[in-house]
Amino acid sequence: MIEARRLHILRAVADHRTVTAAAAALYLTPSAVSQQLTALEQETGHRLVERSARGVRLTPAGEILLRHTHEVLAQLERAEAELAAYGSGDAGTVTVAAFATGIGLVVAPALARLAGTAPGIRVRVRDAEGDASLRMVLDRQVDVAVAVEYRGAPGADDPRLTRVPLYAEPFDAVVPVGHRLAGADRIPLAGLAKDPWIGPYPGNPCHDVVVLACEHAGFEPRLEHQSDDFRAVVALASADAGVALVPRSALRDMDLGGVVVRPVDGSAPTRRVFAAVRRGTEAHPLIRPVLDALAGVRDFPGAAEFS
């Protein structure tokens, strides 16, 4: 008989690629993870992982078991959700991880809505970038992630997650007031090819949006200044340090005195935001109202239907 907790460990090792990282995510010691993997191999009668100096990878037998693991763990999540519903689980705590702008635009308004529609649900919020929040959901550190599409993100068909589209918003060009294109109604990205750029660090989903948009315009941006704080990005642009692309919502209530903000000419780069939960938990009586409240917040400037 295969123990479900060992399947959790197998998936964590597959996700993190090292025993040490999987152990940290699961709040276990590396030796405990190794022991559980050994026990799982004894239960199945197959070698499931191969270790090397670069980390751990699954064997073909391990890959087979991992495919079934996604289905088994999702079904267990559904069983817990149904039991919670049977027990009238209308009171409890849900933890949501979201990036800063997402907290302001959708999470905080959703909390206000839940206070009237589901007063028994207490929501705890954790600030995390879009890529980090998905990992936190998979590692069972949080229940819901508000995340951003990025290169390498788990797709809509990922067997580990259920996704709910929230909103999409364009990036606008931000240039110093004395910039040669400051008087244009719309700014073509190709016209900024020779400028120094200011943008987020690699690993931030917005970094991928900026780099891909510039690549599509035929150039690689020369990122001379980097910050994940868009207020810092705008401040640097106002100091004539470079140009930037910034999500429209991040510019709300910001001092824009030293810069000019213009739409991008042509197809604008877009940030697509979604909520994600572990597959099988989407019907949980505590989590479902939170997802519905998040999806219901669409009445802010710049918001658009997810497409």
Residues 6+ apart with CB under 8 A from 261: 172, 173, 174, 246, 251
Of 285, 287, 267, 286, the C-alpha closest to 276 is: 287
Measure Cα distances from 199 to 217, 220, 236, 270, 271 in Å. Answer: 17, 13, 10, 15, 15
Last residue of a domain, one of 27, 48, 83: 83
Give me the DSSP letters along 132-146: HHHHHHHTTS-SEEE
What is the sign, positive or negative, of the torsion defined by CA atoms of 5, 8, 13, 19? negative
Same domain (yes/no): 190, 259: yes
- Tell me, yes or no, whether 153 and 219 share the same domain: no
Asked if residue 67 is part of any domain, the answer here is yes
Considering the domain architecture, whether residues 13 and 77 belong to the same structural domain is answered as yes
Dmax (CA) for the chain in angstroms is: 70
Same domain, 232 and 281: no
Cα 264 to the center of its chain, rounded Å = 25
Burial of 283 from C-beta contacts in 10 A (0-12 / 13-18 / 19+): middle
Specify the CATH number for the domain of residue 120. 3.40.190.10
Give Rg (Cα) of the chain.
22
Write the burial class of residue 114 (CB in 10 Å: 0-12 exposed, 13-18 middle, 19+ buried).
buried
Tell whether 120 and 162 lie within a shared domain: yes
Closest to 123 measured CA to CA, from 240, 307, 254, 292:
292
- pLDDT for res 1: 77
Contact 284, 89 (CB under 8 A): yes
Residue 254 has pLDDT above 50, yes or no: yes
Interval 261-295: pLDDT, tens: 999 998 889 988 999 999 999 989 899 999 999 99
Instruction: Please tell me which of 132-136, 142-146, 153-157 the model is most confident about, judged by mean pLDDT.
Output: 142-146
**What pLDDT does residue 299 have?**
63
Question: The domain that contains 61 carries what CATH number?
Answer: 1.10.10.10
Residue 143 identity: D
Percent of the chain with pLDDT over 70: 95
| Rounded-to-10 torsion of CA 26, 31, 32, 34 | 90
Mean pLDDT of 58-75: 88
pLDDT higher at 81 or 8: 8
Residues 282 and 160 in one domain: yes
Give the model's pLDDT for residue 302: 53
Task: Verify that 61 and 75 share a domain, yes or no.
Answer: yes
* Phi, psi at 77, each rounded to 5°: -65, -40
Residue with the bigger pLDDT between 132 and 199: it is 199
Q: Do 161 and 285 fall into the same domain? A: yes
Is residue 307 a part of any domain in this protein?
no
The confidence band for 71, taking pLDDT boundaries of 50, 70 and 90, is confident
Beta-bridged to residue 22, according to DSSP, are: none
Instruction: Look at residue 57 and tell me whether its pLDDT is greater than 70.
Output: yes
- As for how many domains the chain has, the answer is 3
Where does 31-184 show beta strands of DSSP type E? 49-52, 55-58, 92-98, 121-127, 144-148, 161-176
| Alpha-carbon span 221 to 197, nearest angstrom | 6
What is the pLDDT, as a whole number, of residue 282?
93
Query: Mean per-residue pLDDT for 103-115?
Result: 93
Domain assignment present for 61 = yes
pLDDT computed for residue 152 by the predictor? 75
Q: Which of 37, 53, 83 is the last residue of a domain?
A: 83
Percentage of the chain exceeding pLDDT 90 = 49
More confident residue, 306 or 85: 85
Q: Is 300 part of a structural domain of the chain? A: no
Residue 162 and residue 172 in one domain: no
Are 59 and 138 in the same domain?
no
Query: pLDDT tens digit string along 293-305?
Result: 999 987 655 555 5
| 306 lies in some domain | no
Range of the domain at 10: 4-83
93 located within any domain: yes
Which of 83, 110, 140 is the last residue in one of the domains?
83
Q: For residue 95, what pLDDT is reported?
A: 97
Tokens of 240: 């004539």
